[in-house]
Amino acid sequence: AKQGVASMLAVALVLVSLAAFPRECSAHRAAANSHGKTKGVHSIGVCNGVIGNNLPSPSDVVKLYKSKGINSMRIYAPESNVLKALSGTGIGLLMDVGNGVLPGLANDPSAAAAWVKANVQPYPGVSFRYIAVGNEVMDSDGQKTILPAMKNLQGALAAAGLGGRVKVSTSVRFDVVTDTFPPSNGVFADLDYMGPILDFLASTGAPLLVNVYPYFAYKGDPQNIKLNYATFTPGTTVNDDGNGLTYTNLFDAMVDSIYAALEDAETPGVKVVVSESGWPSDGGFGATAQNARAYNQGLINHVGGGTPKRSGPLETYMFAMFNENEKKGDPTENHFGLFNPDKSAAYSIRF
């Protein structure tokens, strides 16, 4: 599904053929954590996919997160063994409901209450941060279930005394935004669909979760998108006359087009969380360990400072923790992992 993003971006990203100039490296920033102590802010979590038959046990996975200093995780459905392993660790969790349950959650508030009772309330030691109601739901029938399901889950969490602590959102593909050349022109392609969702997020203080993949944009248009621009490597600078800002990497340009779309939709206060981003190390065009390391290390180093349009830490979830050998589709899908199933590094990376 991620590869569909590339075709939507081809025109939008012609801007990278402009003149190249050196860019400065991102500076690490410091901020206070919830206990008042200061620490380096990277705002990085990692998605924990499980589509493989040789992956480590949940307890070993959580130990690896802790040993690497990774303080946030995304899972794509409630997994009791993972939730038990996370209990008491302080690792923040973004948990999907799973697309298959959306109709039930949308049609019946009691189903949402039962879901919260089964998948959230039994785990008081888990640091639930967000519940993602749908991931990249593209069909119109499925999209109609998202907002009702979000509202029902929000009500269920509030009834359980968790409404202020756990935010309800949905995870969308980047191509819900269109006209992204330049980034300041970004608008939502279908405001009839996205508008009510954004109004809900604005009313609850929840962020919009967006999957952002410069890799697929580069793969779809390598003639116009320079590899260095796509991988946080110095050498290309792009100016946006619409907002007066300068871009030195494709990730920033993509995220700032989302912020522009939020402003156009009159919901500028809605925050953005990048719920997936990554680069494969094998299996297809541009998929090498060298490129994957350049992008993912660049992402880790960069997001603590935000984007040209919006400074400050940008919460981002890298995709993914492990190479998953049972994923279907393009061969690159098996090679997005930062680690191999034996927990060895797929390539050198520093958190």
> What's the rounded Cα separation, in Å, for the pair 340 and 270?
36
Residue spans of beta strands (DSSP E) within the chain = 29-32, 38-41, 44-47, 72-75, 92-96, 127-135, 167-173, 177-178, 187-188, 208-211, 238-240, 245-247, 272-277, 316-318
> What's the rounded Cα separation, in Å, for the pair 322 and 319?
9
Residue 160, judged by CB atoms within 10 A of its CB (0-12, 13-18, 19+), counts as middle
Contact 91, 70 (CB under 8 A): yes
The residue type found at 187 is: V
Contact 293, 348 (CB under 8 A): yes
Contact 182, 242 (CB under 8 A): yes
Q: Output the DSSP codes for 239-270.
A: EETTTTEEESSHHHHHHHHHHHHHHHTT-TT-
Contact 70, 46 (CB under 8 A): yes
Give 301's contacts (C-beta < 8 A, 6+ positions apart). 25, 26, 28, 42, 232
CA angle centred on 330, ends 325 and 335, rounded to 5°: 45
Per DSSP, 275 falls in state: E
Contact 130, 169 (CB under 8 A): yes
Catalytic residue numbers read 136, 276
Q: Supply the Cα-derived Rg of the chain in whole angstroms.
A: 19
